[in-house]
C-alpha cells in the first residue's frame, strides 16, 4: 500500500534540518538560521502578562486588530506600503504566510519563478501546489543579486508568480532599488504575482531595503518576527497585499490554522510599538560576526563574497560535500550549497548566527581541514 499522496512523493525533507539534527552536543552548528540571542525581555514580559491575564482565547482569523494595526503602521513607515488592517493576515511564521499564499493563488501546472540559489522550501511549496518551479539563476559575478535581466530570461508563457527574497537566504545578497522597481513594473505589465519574502529586512548592513509592494499591487509582502526579534520558536509572521488577494489567502489560512495564539500576538504588539534599539544592537553584533567570518575564510583561501544582509556567508569550494563531511568530523556543521539550487553546487552556506567566541573557535577548526 502506498500511504503518501502523489503530491508529496517528490517532496524532500529539509537538508538544513537534517544537518541540524545530526549535530553532536559539542558541535558548533553553523547550519541553522536562528539568532542565538534571547528574545528581548520586554517582549517576554508582555507574553507573560498576556498569560497571567488569561488572554488565551481565539483571536480573529486574520489576527488581533491591534496587532494588524501595528503592522499596518510599520509597513507605512518602514516600507512605504499603504494597506489597511483588513489587508493583513497574521500567520504561523513567514513559512505559513508563504505556503498559504501559494496554495491560495497558484493553480496546478502554473509556472512559478524561484531564486537559484534560494531558500530550499520555495521549490517544495510550489511542488505541493501542483505547479512548476522555474529557476531564476543569479550569478556570483553580480553578488548573487537577482536582476531584471535574470527574471526576463526565465519568464514563460505560463508564469503566474515569482518568489523573491531580499536580503537573501542563502547568499546574504540585497537587491537594489532599480531592479526591485523594474521587476515590479514587469509584474504589473505581465500580470504575475510577486511573493516577496522580507523576513531578513532588518538585518542589513549599510544598504537600504526596498519592498516590491511599494511599486506594484501584484505583490504579497511576507515578513515576521523570528529573525528581527529573535522569536523563532514563537512562530509568528504575516502577509499583506491588496484586498482581493488577501481574501483568497484567508480562505486557506482559515481552514488550515484558524488563527494564531493570542498571547504571542500581544508580545508582537509590544515588539512593534516599543523601542527598536534591540533590533539595532543585534544587527550591529551580526555585522561584527560577518566581518570575522568573511575575513577568516578569505585568509584561508576560500573565496567569499561579502554579504550585505541576513546572517549567512556563501563561500566557494570545489568539493563542497567532502568539505562539509570533514567539517562534521571537526564538530562544525555546515550546509552544502547544492541544497539551494544548481547555482550553489560549488558553494557552502555558513550561518554566523552564533556567538563571536563560537565563531572564532569554528574558524580555528575549519582552518585545520583547509
Which grid cell is 367? Answer: 582552518
- The residue segments making up the domain with residue 34 are 6-39+277-369
Listed residues 243, 273, 303: the one ending a domain:
273
Same domain, 195 and 245: yes
The pLDDT value given to residue 10: 76
CA distance 296 to 142: 22
Listed residues 256, 273, 290: the one ending a domain:
273
CATH of the domain at 297: 3.90.1150.10
CA distance 266 to 278: 18
Assess whether the previous peptide bond of 26 is cis (omega < 30° from 0).
no
Determine, yes or no, domain membership for 335: yes
Determine, yes or no, domain membership for 1: no
Mean pLDDT by 10 residues, the chain (370 residues): 75 63 80 94 98 96 98 98 98 98 97 97 96 96 96 98 98 98 98 98 97 98 98 97 98 96 97 98 98 97 94 97 94 95 96 97 95
pTM: 0.95
CATH of the domain at 64: 3.40.640.10
The pLDDT value given to residue 11: 76
Same domain, 210 and 344: no
Determine, yes or no, domain membership for 308: yes
Same domain, 11 and 149: no
Same domain, 234 and 266: yes
CA distance 347 to 124: 21
Same domain, 52 and 33: no
Same domain, 312 and 200: no
CB atoms under 10 Å from CB of 291, counted, come to: 13
Same domain, 28 and 57: no
CA 278 distance to own-chain centroid: 20
Pairing of strands 159-165, 193-197: parallel
CA distance 356 to 35: 12
Contacts of 150 (CB under 8 A, 6+ apart): 136, 137, 138
The pLDDT value given to residue 15: 60
The pLDDT value given to residue 19: 59
Same domain, 35 and 142: no
The pLDDT value given to residue 39: 98
Listed residues 220, 241, 273: the one ending a domain:
273
**Contact by Cβ (8 Å): 365, 330:** yes
Name the domain count of the chain: 2
CA distance 172 to 321: 21
Cα dist. 355→276, 287, 328, 331, 351 in Å? Answer: 21, 12, 19, 16, 11
Same domain, 120 and 77: yes
CB atoms under 10 Å from CB of 30, counted, come to: 27
Same domain, 95 and 239: yes
The pLDDT value given to residue 4: 75
CA distance 243 to 354: 40
For residues 232-251, one letter each, b for 16 or more C-beta atoms within 10 angstroms of the residue's C-beta and e for the rest, the string is bebbbbbbbbeeebbeebbe
Same domain, 256 and 127: yes
Amino acid at each position: 500500500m502506498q500511504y503518501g499522496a502523489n503530491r508529496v512523493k517528490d517532496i524532500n525533507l529539509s537538508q538544513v534540518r537534517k544537518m541540524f539534527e545530526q549535530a553532536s552536543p559539542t558541535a558548533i552548528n553553523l547550519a541553522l538560521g536562528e539568532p542565538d540571542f534571547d528574545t528581548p525581555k520586554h517582549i517576554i514580559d508582555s507574553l507573560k502578562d498576556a498569560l497571567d491575564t488569561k488572554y488565551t482565547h481565539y483571536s480573529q482569523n486574520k489576527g488581533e486588530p491591534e496587532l494588524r494595526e501595528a503592522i499596518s503602521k510599520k509597513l507605512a513607515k518602514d516600507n512605504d506600503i499603504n494597506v489597511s488592517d483588513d489587508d493583513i493576515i497574521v500567520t504561523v511564521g513567514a513559512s505559513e504566510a508563504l505556503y498559504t499564499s501559494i496554495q491560495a493563488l497558484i493553480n496546478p501546472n502554473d509556472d512559478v519563478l524561484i531564486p537559484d540559489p534560494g531558500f530550499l522550501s520555495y521549490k517544495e511549496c510550489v511542488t505541493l501546489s501542483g505547479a512548476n518551479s522555474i529557476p531564476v539563476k543569479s550569478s556570483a559575478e553580480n553578488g548573487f543579486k537577482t536582476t531584471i535581466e535574470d527574471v526576463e530570461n526565465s519568464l514563460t508563457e505560463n508564469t503566474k508568480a515569482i518568489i523573491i527574497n531580499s536580503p537573501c537566504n542563502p547568499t546574504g545578497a540585497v537587491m537594489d532599488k532599480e531592479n526591485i522597481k523594474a521587476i515590479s513594473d514587469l509584474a504589473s505589465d505581465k500580470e504575475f504575482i510577486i511573493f516577496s519574502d522580507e523576513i531578513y529586512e532588518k538585518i542589513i548592513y549599510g544598504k537600504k531595503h526596498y519592498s516590491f509592494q511599494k511599486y506594484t499591487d501584484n505583490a504579497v509582502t511576507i515578513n515576521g518576527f523570528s529573525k528581527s526579534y529573535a522569536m523563532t520558536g514563537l512562530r509568528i509572521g504575516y502577509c499583506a497585499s491588496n484586498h482581493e488577494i488577501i481574501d483568497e489567502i484567508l480562505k486557506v489560512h482559515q481552514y488550515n490554522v484558524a488563527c494564531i495564539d493570542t498571547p504571542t500576538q500581544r508580545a508582537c504588539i509590544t515588539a512593534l510599538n516599543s523601542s527598536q534599539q534591540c533590533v539595532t544592537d543585534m544587527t550591529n553584533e551580526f555585522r561584527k560576526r560577518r566581518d570575522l567570518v568573511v575575513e577568516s575564510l578569505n585568509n584561508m583561501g576560500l573565496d567569499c563574497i561579502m554579504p550585505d544582509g541576513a546572517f549567512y556567508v556563501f563561500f566557494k569550494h570545489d568539493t563542497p560535500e567532502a568539505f562539509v563531511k570533514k567539517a562534521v568530523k571537526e564538530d562544525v556543521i555546515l550546509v552544502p550549497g547544492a541544497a539551494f539550487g544548481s547555482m550553489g553546487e560549488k558553494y557552502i552556506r555558513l550561518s554566523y548566527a552564533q556567538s563571536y567566541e563560537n565563531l572564532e573557535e569554528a574558524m580555528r577548526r575549519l582552518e585545520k581541514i583547509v
